[in-house]
Structure formats: C-alpha cells, structure tokens
Amino acid sequence: MNTTTVFDRTQPPKPGSIAQIGFPKFITTALPSGTPIYLVENHGQPLVSISIYFQGGSSSDTISTQGLASLSAELLTKGTANRTATEIAEQIDFVGGSLGASASWDSTTISTAVLSRYLTTAIELLADVALNPLFAQEEVDRIRTQRLASIKHAKSDAGYLADVQVSKSIYQSHPYSHEAAGTESTIASFQSEALQTHYARINSPSNAFFVVAGDVTESEIVRLLSNAFSSWKGIAKAPLTNEMPTLPSKPQVKLIGRPQSVQSALRVGHLAITRSHPDYVQCYVLNMLLGGYFNSRINQNLREKNGFTYGARSYFDARKQTGAFIASTEVRTEVTAAAIREIIVEIDRIRTEAVSPEELSMVKQYIIGSFPLSIETPQQIASRVAAIVLYGLGNGYYDTFRDTVAATTSDDLLRAAQEHLHPKVLSIAVSGDAKALESELGIFGDLEVVPIW
C-alpha cells in the first residue's frame, strides 16, 4: 500500500547539513629572485589566470597627486619599449585572452587570463608590460582626456557625490579620503615623468607576488615566469606613513546641493575595522543581517515597510590600514530625513536587541550556501588567495570561513554590534536639493552645505 507524505507548505523547508566544499588548496613557491608565487592548480578547464600584485595602491597618493596610482596602472598596458598599445591589444586578442592593470586602495595589479595552450604568449606580454612600460606622453594625454571626461560626468551622479563626501568625512586627512580616480586639477597636472616615478616606487621583486590559478603545473609556471622575469630588478621605496583617523566626538552632516533634484543619495557611516581584524567574520554576518542582502533589516524597513526606495544596503569596507561602515540608498527628496532616521533606528536596534534564532539561522544559511558560488572560477579563487596574502589572513582562512560563520551566535553579533557600530557619531552625506533639505537635516548633527567641487 502506497503512503503519501504530507508537507506543511506554510512553513519554509528546514536547511540541510552543510556540504563539505573546501577552499581549493594552493601551493606556495617562488622565483629565483624570491618573489612568491601562489598557485592553485585546476585542470578541469584549459584556462589559466595570472596576476602580479604590488604592495601599494591609491593610498600612496597625496592630496596633490590624487589619481596618480590609478592613472599609472592604466598606462601600463598602453605601450612598452617593445610594443605599442595597439600591438599589445592585438596580440592578446589574437589568442583570445585578456590583459589589464588597475590600482585598488592597497595594491596595484596586472592580470592576464588565457587558454592554457597560449600561456607562453600571455606571460611574454605580462612581463613586457610589467618590466618595460613606456608611459609615452601621447598615451598619457589620450588617457588624461578620457579620465577628465569621466570625472566631469561623475559629478552629475548624486551617488558619486555622496560617496566622495562621506569618505572625506570618515577618513579625514588619511589618503583613503581621496578620490582614487583623481580630480580635474590633479589629473590635468600629471606628465609622463610623474607616472614613471610612481611605478618605480612599487615595481620591485621584493614588493610583489604572483597569484596563478588554472590549468598549469608548478614546474611549468615557475619555469615560464623565471625566464620571462629574469631581468627584473628594482628596490621599492618604503611606503608613506599616514596619520590614522579617529572617530569624531559628535555626528556631522554634509549636504551637497543639487538644485531642484527630486531624489537624494544618502550615505550614513563611520570609521570601522581593518580587513585583518579578528572580528571581521562576525561583522560580516552582522552586516549581512543589517543591510547586506535583500532580506536585511535596512532594506526591509526602507523598501518593504516604508516604500522609501527600491533598495538599501550597508557594508563594512574593510581595508588594510583601516575601514568604514556605510549604509547607502537613494530616496525621494520628501522622505530623506525619514530614511536617515530609520537607518539609525535599525543600527540602534541591532546594538540593543539580541537577534532571534530564526533570523540568525536564515542569514547564516544564506552566507554558507552562497560561499561556494564565489569560488567557482580560477579568477574568483585567485582573488581570494590574493586577499589572504595582502591582508595577512593566514593560509587556512577560507578553509574555516563557513565553520566560523556557522559557529557565530546571537551573543557574538550583539558584542560585535556594540563594539563596531557607533550611531552617536555618524558621518552623514546627502546629495540632493539643499533648499528643500537644509532645514530638516540639522537634527542629525552639525550641518554643512558643501559645493559640488
């Protein structure tokens, strides 16, 4: 006799056990010069990605050289002593690969990805770009024109204006407060020599490491990179010492005026933890619950309950030297003050009320279940390995990441919230109609109306 199982469809299914999906193992080796190579072998597909990471990025810019690191990185693939920019692009395109360079706040990266049978070609181009960049003045002028147009366009974006202003408020005189892409005045001033000098400061075998992932063996990659980088020399300059910012004594509000704007861009935040802080995983779980995914409290409050916005989020932007916590959204002008008030309500609530077992279970299952999707490709794996090295996380960091998330308790989150969320000293940046908003926003802190710089 057949029996039918009856399911209660009014209740969500219970989560199953955590699948045993470990972070891929990686090998640590080195060039004869001593430059480390971190290799993740993956022979499932005939693809290889290689990245050179230099310690030092936009945080090395001064207030008068904002944008220098990112512009210098962009110029690396725009011509060498051996190849023009067009030849570099044509040769990597011919083998179906990619080659690019960029600067983040804490590092400068040159990366290539290619089918494994064309690995030799990709490494030749990678080495040429890394060792022989020309920084030709005509290329500098061309990229400068593009960058200036991009900066002018960004000033019409309310979200960009709010992002820049909240960073200035949170990071104060630290370089993290700068505009990484540069300002119109700094970009206009750069000549080839300045870009060459900056790159020479970081371009050294002792200031770099390689991350390789994909269809290649240890012996092969060491041989190919050793041959291509045999002439690599240079001594990196000591990094600049920066004065670290501190939490302010009271909240502050910066209002960037955009006359007759029907919408406001809001950024609410404060100084927070570094990427290597021992509480990072607890703060990651805390923020996911507060504003990190669709079911988060801030999004549910502002979007679902109040209808203020299509979406709202928060995040810990944890960097090498320090970091920030920021909540972010765009709302109608007439509900700007109400939206800020509700964000502060949610920050206060998560600091004072223990998270329920049901809500904590839901957010932990979301993080644990989505983690394998973030390590599917060689490039994704390589970026995680790079984070381990850049921030000194320890080689087993991602091996235990999901277990650490699973072990996080409501008490852990309450402690983390009380230690790392500071609603009484918030920096608030609003980009919107100053005439309509100025009288309402002063209740949140000392108000300053700032121009679009």
Residue 3 is assigned to a structural domain of this protein: no
* Cβ-contact 327, 312 below 8 angstroms: yes
In the block, tokens 């329920």 appear at 356
223 three-class SS: helix
Give the pLDDT mean for 204-233. 97
pLDDT at residue 80 is higher than 60: yes
pLDDT at residue 88 is higher than 90: yes
The pLDDT score that the predictor gives to residue 237 is: 78
In the block, tokens 């974006």 appear at 157
Are 264 and 392 part of one and the same domain?
Answer: yes
**End residue of a domain, out of 178, 212, 228:** 228
The pLDDT score that the predictor gives to residue 377 is: 85
Weakest-pLDDT range from 81-90, 219-228, 231-240, 333-342:
231-240
Are 86 and 124 part of one and the same domain?
Answer: yes
Residue 334 is assigned to a structural domain of this protein: yes
The pLDDT score that the predictor gives to residue 379 is: 84
What is the CB neighbour count within 10 angstroms for residue 394? 11
Residue 240 is assigned to a structural domain of this protein: no
Are 210 and 275 part of one and the same domain?
Answer: no
Of residues 243 and 411, the one with the higher pLDDT is: 411
Are 421 and 272 part of one and the same domain?
Answer: yes
Residue 209 is assigned to a structural domain of this protein: yes
Nearest Cα to Cα of residue 331 among 155, 160, 159, 168: 159
Largest CA distance in the chain: 86
Q: What is the mean pLDDT of the chain?
A: 94
Percent of the chain at pLDDT exceeding 70: 95
Per-residue confidence at 69, pLDDT binned at 50, 70, 90? Answer: very high
Residue 275 is assigned to a structural domain of this protein: yes
Q: How far apart are CA 187 and CA 66, in angstroms?
A: 8
Structure tokens at 264: 């406001």
The pLDDT score that the predictor gives to residue 365 is: 96
228 three-class SS: helix
The pLDDT score that the predictor gives to residue 235 is: 83
Structure tokens at 186: 């700094």
Quote the number of domains for the chain. Answer: 2
Torsion of CA 130, 132, 136, 140, to 10 degrees: 10
HEC string of the chain?
Answer: CCCCCCCCCCCCCCCCCCCCCCCCCCEEEECCCCCEEEEEECCCCCEEEEEEEEECCHHHCCHHHCCHHHHHHHHCCCEECCCEHHHHHHHHHHCCCEEEEEECCCEEEEEEEEEHHHHHHHHHHHHHHHHCECCCHHHHHHHHHHHHHHHHHHCCCHHHHHHHHHHHHHHCCCHHHCCCCCCHHHHHHCCHHHHHHHHHHHCCHHHEEEEEEECCCHHHHHHHHHHHCCCCCCCCCCCCCCCCCCCCCCCEEEEEECCCCCEEEEEEEEEECCCCCCCHHHHHHHHHHHHHCCCCHHHHHHHHHCCCCCCEEEEEEECCCCEEEEEEEEEEHHHHHHHHHHHHHHHHHHHHCCCCHHHHHHHHHHHHHHHHHHHCCHHHHHHHHHHHHHCCCCCCCCCCHHHHHHHCCHHHHHHHHHHHCCHHHCEEEEEECHHHHHHHHHHHCEEEEECCC
The CATH code of the domain that includes 97 is 3.30.830.10
Give the pLDDT mean for 100-121. 97
Are 261 and 173 part of one and the same domain?
Answer: no
Q: How far is CA 391 from CA 144, 171, 204, 280, 400, in A?
A: 32, 19, 19, 12, 17
Sign of the Cα torsion 255, 259, 260, 264 reads negative
In the block, tokens 């608030």 appear at 428
Domain containing residue 204: 27-228
The pLDDT score that the predictor gives to residue 60 is: 94
The pLDDT score that the predictor gives to residue 452 is: 80
pLDDT at residue 1 is higher than 60: no
Q: How far apart are CA 204 and CA 130, in angstroms?
A: 10
* Whole-number CA gyration radius for the chain: 24
Give the pLDDT mean for 132-136. 97
pLDDT at residue 14 is higher than 90: no
Q: How many residues does the chain have?
A: 453
Q: Read off the pLDDT of residues 276-330 as tens digits, 9 standing for 90 and up.
A: 999 999 999 999 999 999 999 999 999 999 999 999 999 999 999 999 999 999 9
Are 218 and 256 part of one and the same domain?
Answer: no
Are 218 and 322 part of one and the same domain?
Answer: no
Q: Read off the pLDDT of residues 15-65 as tens digits, 9 standing for 90 and up.
A: 555 556 778 899 999 999 999 999 999 998 999 999 999 999 999 999 999
Structure tokens at 87: 């030849």
**End residue of a domain, out of 228, 263, 297:** 228
* Cβ-contact 219, 248 below 8 angstroms: no
In the block, tokens 């700032």 appear at 450
Q: Read off the pLDDT of residues 332-341 as tens digits, 9 standing for 90 and up.
A: 999 999 999 9
Nearest Cα to Cα of residue 145 among 99, 108, 182: 182
Supply the angle between the helices 85-94 and 119-131 in degrees, to the nearest 10.
160
Structure tokens at 55: 């310690």
Are 188 and 264 part of one and the same domain?
Answer: no
**End residue of a domain, out of 168, 196, 228:** 228
Are 142 and 39 part of one and the same domain?
Answer: yes
Residue 260 is assigned to a structural domain of this protein: yes
Nearest Cα to Cα of residue 343 among 293, 310, 316, 306: 306
Are 121 and 270 part of one and the same domain?
Answer: no
Residue 113 is assigned to a structural domain of this protein: yes
Per-residue confidence at 239, pLDDT binned at 50, 70, 90? Answer: confident
Residue 12 is assigned to a structural domain of this protein: no
Q: How far apart are CA 212 and CA 111, in angstroms?
A: 10
The pLDDT score that the predictor gives to residue 6 is: 65
